[in-house]
Chains A and B, each alone.
Chain A
Amino acid sequence: MSAIKANGKARAPSDSSPPPHIEVRNLTMAYGDFVVMRDLNFTVQRGAVFIIMGSSGCGKTTLLRHMIGLKEPVTGEVLYDGRSFTRATPAEREAMLRRFGVLYQGGALWSSRTLAENVGLPLGEFTDLSAAEIREIASLKLALVGLKGFEDFYPGEISGGMHKRGGLARAIALDPEILFFDEPSAGLDPISSSLLDDLILELRNSLGATLVVVSHELPSIFRIGTDSILLDAESHSIIARGNPRELLAHSQDPRVIRFLTRCGSGGKAETQYG
């Protein structure tokens, strides 16, 4: 079995090596009595494009929401650079959140504000920039995602793909260290989806950020992923860990192969990716 077993006791950070950039330790997530995932353990290295894979409804987005503090775990914790995010005080948590950028599934742009105001809001709240400077930076971020000239449009006036790019511009407003993406390609046509992947890679390379991406879009996963976990709804755990392309090439686990080859009945099928 080539899929690295990700579950098990987490290694305590030793003094000699720096703690992992992101570490999820013994995390159990549940909705009421229903356990979504049990005892998850994994780490994400700085600069990685880390994909959380899994079939629909298996708890990928729920895991992401736990990592950014929108849901509290039943047990376990999430650590950033060795500091617990789960057990942090509200003030510490706020400081950690400022290092994150999040792109939500639908973009989640604030509909009562223009694109420039959406991007400018975090700048206004967390920097001492003047209104004119904020506007300038907001225009720059919008230009980075190809929305130059749309500064004064309201989210209701632009398309779904532009919504996502607008959300991305807002997510990178404060030059975050870690970017979280919740199904970036969902609802986009193949070309827009591929362009968004290009943009994500480009931004990551230039910003040097670590990316955590929830996705089940195979083309996107193989294109951008450098590391991944595969969640399994039946066993409520991680069944594979590693570079998605290597998993496809070497994994012997039929569940992993089925997922990565889109083959419902099992067996290794020919694929264009790899």
Chain B
Amino acid sequence: MLAKEENAAKELLSLARSDDALVIRLSGAWRLRHGMPSADAVAVEFAAPAAAPRKVVFDAAALSHWDSSLVNFVKGVNELCREHHVAADPAGLPTGLQRLVGLAEAVPEIKARISGARAGLLERIGRAIISANQAVGEFFAFVGVIAIAFGNLMRGRARYRRSDLLQIIQQCGANALGIVTLISYLVGVILAFMGAVQLQQFGAAIYVADLVGIGIVREMGAMMTGVIMAGRTGAAFAAELGTMKVTEELDAFATMGISPIEFLVLPRVIALVLMMPLLCLYADFVGVLGGATVGFGMLGLSFTTYFRETFHAVTMGELIGGLSKSAVYGILIAYAGCLRGFQCGSSSSAVGDAATAAVVTGIVAIVVACGIFAVAFNILGI
């Protein structure tokens, strides 16, 4: 059965000459699933200008069935004919087919505004630099508008709802406790475990408390809270504001004379700046608790000994340094989330892109800031 159909597919088309006209005989069943003969077979006839036909006619007497494959073929033949200034006579084709071909050719090709042609290397480099330049411009412009909004806040002129602020504080503070607990505890356990394996060899197991305490309080507490919040809250900010942009809700604020920056961005930045140090403090405690669990279970240290050693090792300066860092990370996460939300395009996929970009920007900003803090704290001797 299949072989029969294949044979049939091969016999769809034959070319013949009658005087100076090219007769295209169509036969059998033209079905898309059997493949699609191309107009190239006809192009051969035009290859030698001297022997080229003056006219093209169709003979569809033996045609049993046709679909889009034939419409496409006839359209291709018509294009060939126009190219070589040869008349194509569609009279021999079924009426429905003639109409479809007519419809496909009715509106001339619209030259799209954006050229589909692949740009050269230099052009692509140039475009990349221009767009990078714009991105940097937008980045700093957003810093500027937020600074102005904060200026208004200081003067008591900023327009925002306290109830919104409280709601956002709940979302990015209390609601994040679960995940912060889990991750911080595990980070404490991992740090302690890694330290214990090494320190046990020297009989210095008690120093696990120092290692975990300093590691968590100085760096990991703030860093892990930052990464969690970038993934959790930064993405949520970008997705929420991005969706509001798509549905014109941001415009609705703007045309009401209410600055969306003051009304939406300000409470988000304030909420994260307030909540990050608290979450960080909590993460520090839970992380040390994780370390203590390993100390108790694996090294046989009592909780009292472990905590006394921790308090002995960690200074107030380190604790404050870690908490200040987390406040800065909070600004960076809120900033990245809101910026990406406001930059969102006008489609649903753009919202996804905005959320992804917010997380990436947030984490990169946190790591860069962490590096800068490390150098600065070192110079300052903290």
Smallest distance from the beta carbon of B253 to chain A beta carbons, Å?
Answer: 8
**Residues of chain A contacted by B243 (CB below 8 angstroms):** 111
Task: Say whether, besides A34-B113, A125-B159, A94 and B251 are in contact (CB < 8 Å).
Answer: no
Tell me the residues in window 327-364 of chain B with beta carbons closer than 8 Å to chain A beta carbons: none
Smallest distance from the beta carbon of A135 to chain B beta carbons, Å?
Answer: 14
A104→B244 CA distance, assembly (Å):
13
* B contact residues, range: 10 to 19
A6 within 8 A of B: no
Task: Say whether, besides A94-B257, A125-B159, A125-B258, A108 and B113 are in contact (CB < 8 Å).
Answer: no
In the complex, the answer to whether A102 meets B252 with C-beta atoms within 8 Å is: yes
In the complex, the answer to whether B249 meets A97 with C-beta atoms within 8 Å is: no
Proximity bits, A153-170, B CB within 8 Å = 1, else 0: 000000000000000001
In the complex, the answer to whether A98 meets B247 with C-beta atoms within 8 Å is: no
Closest to A106 in B: B247
Proximity bits, B155-184, A CB within 8 Å = 1, else 0: 000010000000000000000000000000
Tell me the residues in window 42-89 of chain A with beta carbons closer than 8 Å to chain B beta carbons: 65, 68-70
A234→B159 CA distance, assembly (Å):
43
In the complex, the answer to whether A97 meets B159 with C-beta atoms within 8 Å is: no
A93→B159 CA distance, assembly (Å):
16
**Residues of chain A contacted by B249 (CB below 8 angstroms):** 108-111
A181 within 8 A of B: no
Closest to A99 in B: B257
Main secondary structure of the interface of A (DSSP, over half): mixed
In the complex, the answer to whether A104 meets B248 with C-beta atoms within 8 Å is: yes
Closest to A100 in B: B255
Task: Say whether, besides A34-B113, A108-B247, A125-B159, A97 and B252 are in contact (CB < 8 Å).
Answer: no
In the complex, the answer to whether B254 meets A108 with C-beta atoms within 8 Å is: no
In the complex, the answer to whether B256 meets A122 with C-beta atoms within 8 Å is: yes
A180→B251 CA distance, assembly (Å):
13
A196→B304 CA distance, assembly (Å):
73
A188 within 8 A of B: no
Smallest distance from the beta carbon of A118 to chain B beta carbons, Å?
Answer: 9
A126→B247 CA distance, assembly (Å):
24
Smallest distance from the beta carbon of B289 to chain A beta carbons, Å?
Answer: 36
Smallest distance from the beta carbon of A127 to chain B beta carbons, Å?
Answer: 13
A102→B258 CA distance, assembly (Å):
13
**Residues of chain A contacted by B244 (CB below 8 angstroms):** 110-111
Main secondary structure of the interface of B (DSSP, over half): loop
In the complex, the answer to whether A95 meets B255 with C-beta atoms within 8 Å is: no
Tell me the residues in window 252-284 of chain B with beta carbons closer than 8 Å to chain A beta carbons: 252, 254-258
A193 within 8 A of B: no
**Residues of chain A contacted by B113 (CB below 8 angstroms):** 34
Task: Say whether, besides A34-B113, A125-B159, A68 and B255 are in contact (CB < 8 Å).
Answer: yes
In the complex, the answer to whether B254 meets A70 with C-beta atoms within 8 Å is: yes
Smallest distance from the beta carbon of A35 to chain B beta carbons, Å?
Answer: 11
Smallest distance from the beta carbon of B223 to chain A beta carbons, Å?
Answer: 31
In the complex, the answer to whether A108 meets B252 with C-beta atoms within 8 Å is: yes
A226 within 8 A of B: no
Smallest distance from the beta carbon of A78 to chain B beta carbons, Å?
Answer: 13
Smallest distance from the beta carbon of B358 to chain A beta carbons, Å?
Answer: 18
Tell me the residues in window 95-133 of chain A with beta carbons closer than 8 Å to chain B beta carbons: 95, 97-98, 100, 102, 104-106, 108-111, 121-122, 125-126
A93→B258 CA distance, assembly (Å):
11
**Residues of chain A contacted by B257 (CB below 8 angstroms):** 93-95, 97-98, 126
Smallest distance from the beta carbon of A77 to chain B beta carbons, Å?
Answer: 18
**Residues of chain B contacted by A111 (CB below 8 angstroms):** 243-244, 247, 249
**Residues of chain A contacted by B254 (CB below 8 angstroms):** 69-70
Closest to B253 in A: A110
Smallest distance from the beta carbon of A171 to chain B beta carbons, Å?
Answer: 9
Closest to B114 in A: A34
**Residues of chain B contacted by A100 (CB below 8 angstroms):** 255
In the complex, the answer to whether A104 meets B258 with C-beta atoms within 8 Å is: no
**Residues of chain B contacted by A121 (CB below 8 angstroms):** 256
Closest to A34 in B: B113
A65→B255 CA distance, assembly (Å):
10
**Residues of chain B contacted by A126 (CB below 8 angstroms):** 257
**Residues of chain B contacted by A105 (CB below 8 angstroms):** 248
Closest to B258 in A: A125
Taking a contact as CB atoms closer than 8 A, the residue among B159, B252, B255 that contacts A110 in the complex is: B252
Smallest distance from the beta carbon of B345 to chain A beta carbons, Å?
Answer: 13
Smallest distance from the beta carbon of B337 to chain A beta carbons, Å?
Answer: 16
Smallest distance from the beta carbon of B167 to chain A beta carbons, Å?
Answer: 9
Smallest distance from the beta carbon of B136 to chain A beta carbons, Å?
Answer: 19
A93, A97, A125 — which one has the most chain B CB atoms within 10 A of its CB?
Answer: A125
**Residues of chain A contacted by B159 (CB below 8 angstroms):** 125
In the complex, the answer to whether B247 meets A102 with C-beta atoms within 8 Å is: no
In the complex, the answer to whether B252 meets A69 with C-beta atoms within 8 Å is: no
Smallest distance from the beta carbon of A203 to chain B beta carbons, Å?
Answer: 18
A100→B256 CA distance, assembly (Å):
7
A244→B140 CA distance, assembly (Å):
47
Proximity bits, B99-133, A CB within 8 Å = 1, else 0: 00000000000000100000000000000000000
Smallest distance from the beta carbon of A141 to chain B beta carbons, Å?
Answer: 14
A106→B248 CA distance, assembly (Å):
8
In the complex, the answer to whether B258 meets A69 with C-beta atoms within 8 Å is: no
Smallest distance from the beta carbon of A163 to chain B beta carbons, Å?
Answer: 10
**Residues of chain B contacted by A70 (CB below 8 angstroms):** 251, 254-255
Closest to A118 in B: B252
In the complex, the answer to whether A108 meets B258 with C-beta atoms within 8 Å is: no
**Residues of chain A contacted by B256 (CB below 8 angstroms):** 97-98, 102, 121-122, 125
What are the 3 closest A-B residue pairs judged by CB atoms, nearest first?
A97-B257, A108-B248, A94-B257
Q: Would you list 23 pairs from A and B whose C-beta atoms are within 8 A, ordered by A residue? A: A34-B113, A65-B251, A68-B255, A70-B251, A70-B254, A97-B255, A98-B256, A98-B257, A100-B255, A102-B252, A104-B248, A104-B251, A105-B248, A106-B247, A108-B247, A109-B252, A110-B252, A111-B247, A111-B249, A122-B258, A125-B159, A125-B256, A170-B252
A70-B254, A105-B248 known; 6 other A-B pairs, CB under 8 Å?
Answer: A68-B255, A69-B254, A69-B255, A106-B247, A110-B249, A125-B256
